Chain A
Amino acid sequence: MSAESTCRRCDGPTAIKTRQANFCQPCFITFIQQKQRKAMEGCKVLFARPGCVLPPAINILVPISFGQSSLALLDMAHAQLEEQAKTYENAAGFTLNAVFIDCSEADPLEKEPNQIISELEKRFAHAKFTCIPLSKAFEGASSVTLKHNRDYTSFVSGISEEPTSVQQLLSCIGTKSAREDIISVLQRHLIIEEAKKQNESLPTTVAWGHNATRLAELTLSLTIKGRGNRIHAQVLEHKNPKDSISGLPEIHPLNDVLSYEIPFYNSFRNVSDLAVDTVSKPSQVTKNLSIDQLMHQYFENIQTNFPSIASTVVRTAAKLDDPNAAKQGLTPCLICASPVDPNQSLAWLTNITVNEPAAPETEEEEELSKKAHMEKSQEKTGDADRHLPVPNLCYGCIITIRDTDSFTFPKRASKQDILDEFTL
């Protein structure tokens, strides 16, 4: 066999050619797993003294979507546990919790979530699985209905003690991009809530399964949605909980693995068949895609000609700082809870998107304009909800709710809300 077609490390048969090198199956698995092990350095088995193993001091929470990437991370973490159990007689350096946010009500999967989880439980015996329905985000929360004006301002048109439902929420969202945006906000919220719950019994680290290409897509789609200030929170690793907005360590063990490498890893490890896709497939017409879908397509296409592009974007994003770090007086956005400088985004928007008409020129125009004005002021007085508070929204959420007619969202009582209400 010529040198070109054998593995760079062991001269075995080449199974994948990537990063300008040939790898055989075992060497590729090791190569990828080492990246994950390095990211999870703190997950080693602890000893009180030689021969005396301590119980795990860390909990790893892996959010799973049943996609290829999170499945690969789950397999890697699980392989690490298996190895630890084998080497040190049933010892473990960490506990492994896989959390699935069930969005099938909004976006059905090809299989029933419970069925998939029972298959995963068989394959990954050392991991615990939790399935949280998306509707949990609405439980016990009152609901707020928002409406937007012709300009970018919006107002609360009603607050109800009755929780809203997933169907109700999604039915009022007009575009795929806005729908996707809102679902991802809720998903992230539920994952972090679950992680905080688990953190109470054992220090928890959230290990996201995003690969480098996915992180690059996320960086660009956050930028495109006007959420550039969230890149620091969502794309960067925060090993120190103090830097993390969620207050928990968040890591991306696959941030150096490219999207096309993941299916190879999964097939070499015989876990590919466990991945499940959603029923709906992206449209063939560019105009009908969502922003995330378009970004996914962009990177899949450009990666063939410019293979280093995803890692370039991830490295660039890593240089960004939290833009709100030094700012005072920020309040959480009503929808996504990210810190907002009240009115700043709105002022910026209204300054560059003017809605003032040009003055009427003829008498006829003057008449019509007066009439329209009268009708409007009558409408205003008829609107009894005017006294309700002005919602505090971040830029990204202002843009998102413009894609809705009226938008009913669960109002989550924050710790501060409760304190404000009950402290005397």
Chain B
Amino acid sequence: MLCVLCECRKAMLKRPKTLQPICKPCFYNVFETEIHNTIVESNLFFPGERVAIGASGGKDSTVLAHVMKTLNERYNYGVDFVLLSIDEGIHGYRDDSLETVKRNKVQYDMDLEVVSYSELYGWSMDQIVAQIGNKNNCTYCGVFRRQALDRGSAKLGIAHIVTGHNADDMAETVLMNLLRGDTARLDRCTELVTGSDDSPVKRSKPLKYAYEKEIVLYAHYKKLDYFSTECTYSPEAFRGTARTLIKNLEAIRPSTIIDIIHSGEAFVLKKKKEKKGKGSVVVKAKVEEKPVPSGGCSVPLAFDSSLGLSNRCTKCGYLSHNAVCKACVLLEGLNAGRAKMQIEGDSADGAAKNIKTLEKLALSI
């Protein structure tokens, strides 16, 4: 069978988004061009910009790094990409995936910065899980990661992070926001660039229209070096139902994923009267960022509580609407229980490591 696009090469795969039988070169072409269109459409980058790629070593961020490098060279974006990794301290998961990122650093010839939870907060995720159990640990990890990414980019003097969120993630978020009634995020969750009212760093998702299955295919055919294990501290059950729902819908109608994103982009919230308060905070944050116009790039301000700026955490200086930021609140709770923990011994290996060891045992039998 010939590829339906070029009609001159043998079709090698059925494109997940459209089910068209196409050849590999055409697949690479459409996949990369769609990402390029997303970038150009919204003027995502400017020449000379330094941009951090949030790299976990997983398929999404590896494909992101590869495609960004390819497009940067092909279309002369003039962007300087840097890899930024967060080490949550999950043995048997993150240590292995970080090795992948280190190889990617060499493969893509990019700088790499690793920020670790234990360095930043004095707690690794394994230690946190050992203390609080298997419930809510995604909350800790999420809050800490957000701040760690910001601090990592502040250290590098970078004001823009690109992340590997794909179309499936976007569609899942739209449905989750509807199901959970999260109106605050409902109309903003599909935006390509997320605002900076609670973070000085701009975040964007160039893969927001790329299907997860296509990312897998791309990584497979391009023989990219990535690490494929899900985090062993599994996510909440409710999100799981939304994920299954999306997979089922995709089987019924492949375009469903972008259809959901299209709907999400059309969501407009009714105007609220209380919005005034929120608006003023946004203005404040923007004003504070302004006085760094050098080279057109606004470098994030250092997070230092001694600067005595308003809307900063009094403890760590991170941006916060409250006196103390969420991460510091969580940390305080953790530190209160630390004494008990240390008696148990020095081994801080978490469940992920134990499972891995058990898996190996089973294999060797």
Q: In the assembled complex, which residues on chain A have CB atoms less than 8 Å from the CB atom of B8? A: 360, 364-369, 372
Are A372 and B181 interface neighbours, CB within 8 A? no
B174-195, CB under 8 A of A: which get 1 and which 0? 1101111111001000000000
B76-119, CB under 8 A of A: which get 1 and which 0? 00000000000000000000000000000000000000000000
Instruction: Describe B's contact surface by its main secondary structure.
Output: helix
Q: What is A's interface to B at a CB cutoff of 8 Å?
A: 150, 175, 177, 219-220, 222-229, 286-287, 289-291, 294, 298, 302, 306, 309, 312-313, 315-317, 319-323, 325, 345, 348-349, 351-358, 360-361, 364-369, 372, 395-396, 399, 402-403
Are B268 and A360 interface neighbours, CB within 8 A? no
Minimum C-beta distance from B103 to chain A (A): 28
Minimum C-beta distance from B127 to chain A (A): 32
Q: In the assembled complex, which residues on chain B have CB atoms less than 8 Å from the CB atom of A402? A: 255
Contacts A228-B264, A357-B26 given; indicate if A351 touches B6 (C-beta within 8 A). Answer: no
Q: In the assembled complex, which residues on chain B have CB atoms less than 8 Å from the CB atom of A356? A: 5, 29-30, 33
Nearest-neighbor residue (CB-CB) of A312 within chain B: B181
B19-38, CB under 8 A of A: which get 1 and which 0? 01001011011100110011
Q: In the assembled complex, which residues on chain B have CB atoms less than 8 Å from the CB atom of A355? A: 5, 30
| Total residue contacts A-B, CB cutoff 8 A | 160
Are A287 and B251 interface neighbours, CB within 8 A? yes
8 interchain pairs, CB-CB under 8 A: A220-B175, A298-B241, A321-B269, A352-B209, A354-B37, A355-B30, A361-B25, A369-B8
Q: In the assembled complex, which residues on chain B have CB atoms less than 8 Å from the CB atom of A349? A: 258
Q: In the assembled complex, which residues on chain B have CB atoms less than 8 Å from the CB atom of A360? A: 6, 8-9
Are B268 and A345 interface neighbours, CB within 8 A? no
Nearest-neighbor residue (CB-CB) of B272 within chain A: A319
Are A319 and B6 interface neighbours, CB within 8 A? no
Partner of B183, one of A224, A287, A319: A319
Are A316 and B183 interface neighbours, CB within 8 A? yes
Nearest-neighbor residue (CB-CB) of A178 within chain B: B253
Are A320 and B267 interface neighbours, CB within 8 A? yes
Is B221 in the interface zone, CB < 8 Å from A? no
B120-142, CB under 8 A of A: which get 1 and which 0? 00000000000000000000000
**In chain B, residues 24-59, which have Cβ atoms closer than 8 Å to a Cβ of chain A?**
25-26, 28-30, 33-34, 37-38, 41
> Which of A349, A358, A364 gathers the greatest number of chain B CB atoms within 10 Å?
A358
Nearest-neighbor residue (CB-CB) of B182 within chain A: A316
Is B360 in the interface zone, CB < 8 Å from A? no
Contacts A287-B251, A352-B38 given; indicate if A224 touches B260 (C-beta within 8 A). Answer: yes
Are B266 and A177 interface neighbours, CB within 8 A? no
For the complex of A and B, list the 7 residue pairs with the smallest distance between their C-beta atoms, beginning with the closest: A228-B263, A226-B259, A357-B6, A372-B7, A368-B8, A358-B25, A358-B29
Minimum C-beta distance from A78 to chain B (A): 34
Nearest-neighbor residue (CB-CB) of B18 within chain A: A353
Are B181 and A345 interface neighbours, CB within 8 A? no
Bound: A224/B182 CA distance, A:
18
Nearest-neighbor residue (CB-CB) of A221 within chain B: B249
Partner of B174, one of A223, A312, A321: A223
Minimum C-beta distance from A290 to chain B (A): 7
Q: In the assembled complex, which residues on chain A have CB atoms less than 8 Å from the CB atom of B180? A: 312
Q: In the assembled complex, which residues on chain A have CB atoms less than 8 Å from the CB atom of B262? A: 226, 228, 345, 348, 395
